[in-house]
């Protein structure tokens, strides 16, 4: 089962969302400026839902290919924030 997918939120709208279960990818996307629009339950797991961008595929591939960077302290702070969302949200 894939840990990520792009979805259309509105049948006739232009807003699309991108979902992932990958915690560290979600942290990277937050650091890269993606808007987190929802955190939903899927059984015992959580799914991070972001507003999609045209560059998302390239950003995700760069993350998994170790071909991108974010500010280390911002990434660490985002990890703490996202863990807070998981446990308190």
Sheet holding 4-8, edge to edge: 4-8, 16-20, 45-51, 36-42
**Nearest of 57, 56, 39 to residue 48 by alpha carbon:** 39
pLDDT tens digit string along 57-86?
999 999 999 999 999 999 999 999 999 999
Question: Phi then psi for 4, rounded to 5 degrees?
Answer: -150, 155
Per-residue pLDDT of 21-61, as tens digits, reads 999 999 999 999 999 999 999 999 999 999 999 999 999 99
Distance, in Å, from the CA atom of 31 to the CA atom of 71, rounded to the nearest integer, reads 8
- DSSP 8-state symbol, 4: E
Q: Per-domain residue ranges for the chain?
A: 4-88
pTM > 0.85: yes or no: no
């Amino acid at each position: 089962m894939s840990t990520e997918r792009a979805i259309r939120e509105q049948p006739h709208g232009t807003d699309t969302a991108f979902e992932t279960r990958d915690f560290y990818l979600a942290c990277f996307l937050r650091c890269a400026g993606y808007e987190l629009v929802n955190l939903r339950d899927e059984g015992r797991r959580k799914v991070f839902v972001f507003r999609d961008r045209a560059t998302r595929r390239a950003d995700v591939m760069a993350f998994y290919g170790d071909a991108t960077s974010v500010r280390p302290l911002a990434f660490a702070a985002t990890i703490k924030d996202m863990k807070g969302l998981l446990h308190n949200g």
